[in-house]
Amino acid sequence: MTESPVGSGYARTRDIIVAAILLLALTALLVIVLVQAWPPAPEIAPDGRTEPAARATTVELPGWSPTLSRETSLFVVVMAAGALGAAVHVLRSFYWYVGNRALRRSWLMMYLLLPFVGALLGLIVYLVLRGGLTSPTGGASDINPYGIAAIAALVGLFSRETSEKLRSVFGTLLAQAPHGRDQALAPRITAVEPASGPVGTVVALHGGGLGSATAVRFGAAQSRITDAGDTLIRTAVPPGATSGPPVVLTPAGAVTAPAVFTVE
């Protein structure tokens, strides 16, 4: 299958600046929403008794001050924390690619959408936990907001791992979907960067369906994968490597790169 040329070029300075401003603004907004929507804690009365926490929280936002019930506040906290966790992942990946001058324009949309994916995954995990791991008689007052916010943030930070875990858990309960065009693409390699280097050189292999890759062979020598993603994996040239097309090992089989890597 021919790879689409849309977004294949490297991001320009203007693209990087606009994306950085949007990501930082979104991160700041999420922090404000998380702090404002945080449900109040129970107060200690003068006689030492613990008074119930307030049932409603007023969120102070520019031009809007909604009043949220504790249950609604927990939903907002979970989604904001999940989005913040994803924003941490996005910012780390963004500055790495920009610093190494390897950011392609096709990744910009992923960077902007991943916080929303983290928010939704955090909400889904929260619903699963509330529906299956808490007492049916328990209410919002029994939920520790610090605990659910921490879980949601980790879910957003490790959104890919969370998706795979949910898939493996519920795959045993639900019928397997038939393979079609919306299923995962077969592993393929489209580019190798750089084209040459000595032992120890970090090599990036671009393509698709590479998220499950386990190792890369350079001739008879095999190396571990240090960074794995669906469209990009990285590995270091191992001792004993020889020149030739790198071969990526995946559960679906070995995939040979279309370009030769020359070991100097």
The CA-based angle 171-74-161, given to 5 degrees, is 30
Query: What's the pTM?
Result: 0.62
> Is the C-alpha dihedral spanning 34, 145, 129, 161 positive or negative?
positive
Tell me how crowded residue 126 is: count the other CB atoms within 10 A of its CB: 23
pLDDT at 135: 45
pLDDT at 46: 66
Query: Within its chain, how far is the Cα of 173 from the centroid?
Result: 25
Q: Where are the alpha helices (DSSP H) in the chain?
A: 13-37, 70-99, 106-132, 145-157, 159-171
Read out DSSP for 45-102? PTTSPEEPPPSEEE--BTTB--EEEHHHHHHHHHHHHHHHHHHHHHHHHHHHHHHTT-
pLDDT at 134: 45
pLDDT at 224: 87
pLDDT at 23: 93
pLDDT at 7: 62
* pLDDT tens digits for range 36-53: 888 877 666 566 665 556
Low-confidence stretches of the chain (pLDDT < 50) are: 1-2, 133-137, 180-182
pLDDT at 179: 52
pLDDT at 118: 93
pLDDT at 132: 67
pLDDT at 29: 92
